[in-house]
Each structure stands twice: as C-alpha cells, then as structure tokens.
Amino acid sequence: TLLTIPPGTNAQLPLSLQNLVVENVAIEECASPARSATHSSQPHAPHSSSSSSSSNTANLHSNRPACVFTPPNRTVCYRGFETKRFQAGGRFNLTRRLVLCDWPLKSFDPLVLARLVPRIERLAITGRILQRLAHDFPPLPYLRMVNITGTRLNHTGVNAFYELERLQVLNLRGNELEQIQPYRFRSGHVEVYLQGNLWNCTNDMIWLLKEQSRQYVDKPTLVCKDWKYTGRPVLTAMEYKRVVRESCLHEEIWNCSCHVSYLRLSDNGLSFHPMIMVNCSDRGFYQLPQYLPGNTTVLHMARNKLQSVDSLTTNEHYQSVQDIYLDENRITSIDILEDTIWLDNFRILSLRGNRMNRIRVYSVEHAIERNPGVGKVYLSNNPWRCGCRFAIRFQRFLRKHESLVADSRNITCYFINDDDGRKQYLPVLTVTPNDICRPSEHNTAAFYNTLSIIFATLIILIFTKLAYDYYHYRKYGKLPWLIMKMP
C-alpha cells in the first residue's frame, strides 16, 4: 500500500536539509559604486581623474538617479534611468551591457529598452523594491542575457521573454517567485536559473518533471518555502504529487480528489513519508471505498450515504488513516470499532449529523485513554436517546473529556414527552436524572448506587482487616482470634 517513488528522486532528498546558498545573486557592478565611478573617469580625463572620480562618487551616493558609462559599451545606473542623457545620444547610445542597480520602483517596463538601448546584449537588474514587470519584453534582436536577481519579483508571464529571439541565459535567482509555468522561448536553447525563490509547492509545477524542462538548469536545487513543504526539494514534492494524482485515478475513487498534505522526513533524514489527503465528500458513496492510495492519513467522506464503518476494521488500506470525517451520513452505530487497532490510533473522528442514538461509552472512553495521539471527536447533531442510564454515563464521559469532544456543548438528547408524545431535546451536559428518569427508574438507579457504595465500603474494610492481621502476625507471631477458634 506504500507509494512507489522512482529511485532518481531519492537522490535529491538530502538537499532538503541544506541551506542552499544562492550563487550569482549579487551583481558585481552594483556592489561598489565608488569603484565604478573611478573606473569610468580614468579613460576620459587622465589628468583630472581624482576630481572626476570624486564628483561621480558623490552623484552615485545621492538619492537621484545616476548612470556611469564605461567604454567600450557598459552602462551602470543607480536608482533608475537618466532618461534625458540616454535620449540626448552620445556615448550612452553605445551601450550593449546595461546594469540597473537599486531599481527604485515596484515595476520595470521592458518596453523602454527598445527606445533607449536598442542594441543591448546583456541586461542585469537588482533592487528589493522591484516586484513585477509592467510588460513582456519587446523584440530586442541582440539581447542574449537577462539577469533579474535579488528583487521581490513574484510573477512572470509565460510569454515574458518570448520576443527575445537570441536569448541564451535567463537568470531569475534570488527573487520571490512562488510558481511558474514553462516559459515560451523563440530562441532554440535557453538556460534558465531559478534557485533561491520562494517556491510554493502547494501549486502545480509537475511539468518540471518532464523531459522538456531540461533547460531549467538548476531545478534539482529548488527548495519549497511554503509552510506545508518547507525545506523539501521541489522535484521531490512534485514527484509525490504526480504519483498521488495517478493513484487517485483508481476505479474506486476516480471521482475523488487526492493531495499530498505533508512530507514527513524519515528518522535517518534520507527519505520522506508522504501524508495523503483524500476527499470523497458529496460523491454518493454507499460504503467506504475499498481502495485508498498508500499513506492516506486524512479521509473526507461527508455528505454521502454511508451506513457502516466496517472497512476501518477489515481493510488494510485504512491502517494509516488517522483523521476521518463522516459527517452527515446514515451511520447508526460504531460498536464494531470496539477494541480495534484503528480506534486505539485515530487522531480525529467526526460523526456529526448521522443517525446514532447511543454508543458504548466505556469502549470509546477506554480507547481515548489508551490513545496518546487522540486529537478531537465530534458527535453533535445525532439523535441521542435520553435513556436514564445511557444519558448519565454519556454526560459523565462528555464532562471528563470535554476538551477532546470539541462539540460537547452542542450535543443534545431527546425523550418522548408523556403529555403530548412529542420529542423533547435537552443538552446532555446539563441534563439531570429528574429530567429523564421515571420515578421507578430513578429509584432503581438510586438503589443500585447505594448498593454499590455499600459493597465498596465492605471491600475496603476487608482489605483493611487483612492488612492489620498480617501486620499483627509478623510482629507477634499470633494468628487472628477467629482462626484460633476454628476446628
């Protein structure tokens, strides 16, 4: 019943335990503005390089946009474009390599590149304010490398880079992308780098497993960052999701939905144990399905037409099911679960809105006391009968385990009113013997309660006398007086 994962996936598992360092996120030209200013001033004014360097450095450290052109064709801009200088022509029109440091806006519009630097070959952008691209890239016939790293970019369209017919490298490392669909490229071969983004593996990125995704060079190093899969390799999470999706096509559950709810790391840290959730609510089931994917831990079967829970005790597919939601079915009894392994190991059992009128209280209570992992039980909206003995036992159970029976305050029971024959409902937690017990039943119950107290007292006295006689014999060596008088 275990899910089978291809061996190639296991080889990636230890990556989840590493804090993978994102390489090449820091753009060298943006790391030292003073160095760029000094370097750019030397070729043009060798006799006044000191003053020119000081002036450029002052501009770069101000809050205004500033650009530095380095022959033969590199321009580095800080805090945005100097649009007027580009439009005025001159040496900036020679720019083939453009580096934009500390981009000051939430969006960047690639359309301006066609107007300002039509012969650009390499583009690099960084800055923690940038979040989106305003448009897809226009046709730029010479652009070969795009490097957008160290930003808060969280979305890119599938056609964002389609018009770049000579694109060879797309570096999107160290941003905040949570999900991508396979990009469309016009060029024959593009190397894509995606490491260090905030991948949300609850999204569907199973396409990364396909052969066509080979151009995503660093995909084996991608790590999930969402709360459910955090620290797990993206490829591993997607492989489990693919296997579960195929398992859910089984004829027994073809109309249900299946999800990997969590990947638990094994004790040796080299493999994962998937925890699968299957949702078959509102699917018209008359009985629990005979098949479930291996490692199914959560099963939703609400609003069907189930009448029994036999499969929990007889079907091996339910051995790993810990949380089961059976609300609003036609279940009349769970007595078959008494003294079963399942009842001793469950975590959540929800039976709201069924047709149960009584349960074996002692059986459920013993199971809860034996089960260290029990979480919640839900029992409201059932037609519980206010029988004299059952209601009192049920009330004691609910009061004792009120923290576990999450809806205990909403549980009611009914009795038939002698005056008009109608059902009268009372909260079980507040019901009293006078409300539900007839005088004869009440007197019988009181008699048995008194008799129980008498027997308990006699037992205590007998054990006390035995203890005293034993002590007296060990100390003085004399038998009790009654024993001495016996023939």
pLDDT digits (tens, 9 = 90+) for 115-162: 889 999 999 999 999 999 999 999 999 999 999 999 999 999 999 999
Pick from 295, 292, 246, 245: which is nearest to 275 by CA? 295
pLDDT digits (tens, 9 = 90+) for 237-291: 999 999 999 999 999 999 999 999 888 887 777 778 889 999 999 999 999 999 9
Helices 439-476 and 388-400 meet at what angle, rounded to 10? 60
Q: Is the pLDDT of residue 80 over 70?
A: yes
Question: Looking at 33-47, 154-168, 309-323, which range is the least confident one?
Answer: 33-47
Segment 220-241 shows an average pLDDT of: 90
Segment 376-383 shows an average pLDDT of: 95
- pTM for the predicted model, two decimal places: 0.72
Helices (runs of H) and strands (runs of E) counted in the chain: 14, 18
Segment 419-440 shows an average pLDDT of: 82
Segment 196-211 shows an average pLDDT of: 91
Q: State the CATH architecture for 280-438.
A: Alpha-Beta Horseshoe (3.80)
Pick from 341, 381, 387: which is nearest to 361 by CA? 387
Q: How far apart are CA 303 and CA 292, in angstroms?
A: 19
- Could you give the count of Cα atoms lying within 13 Å of 215 in the half-sphere of its Cβ? 16
pLDDT given at position 11: 34
The rounded Cα 215 to chain-centroid distance in angstroms is: 29
Supply the CATH classification number for the domain 62-198: 3.80.10.10
> What is the band of 346 on the pLDDT scale with cuts at 50, 70, 90?
very high
Q: Is the pLDDT of residue 46 over 70?
A: no
Strand partners, 348: 323, 376
Q: Where are the domains of the chain?
A: 62-198, 280-438, 443-484
> Can 62-198 and 280-438 be said to share one CATH topology?
yes
CB 154 within 8 A of CB 55: no
Strand partners, 97: 74, 122
Distance between first and last Cα of the chain: 71
pLDDT given at position 16: 39
Question: Looking at 35-39, 224-228, 376-380, which range is the least confident one?
Answer: 35-39
pLDDT given at position 66: 87
Instruction: Count CB atoms within 10 A of the CB of residue 210.
Output: 9
* CB burial string 127-163: b at 16+ within 10 A, e below: beebbebeebbbebeebbbbbbbbbebeebeeebbbb
pLDDT given at position 277: 95
Tokens coding 463: 């054990």
- Could you give the count of Cα atoms lying within 13 Å of 47 in the half-sphere of its Cβ? 0
Percent of the chain with pLDDT over 90: 53
CB 194 within 8 A of CB 222: yes
pLDDT given at position 444: 57
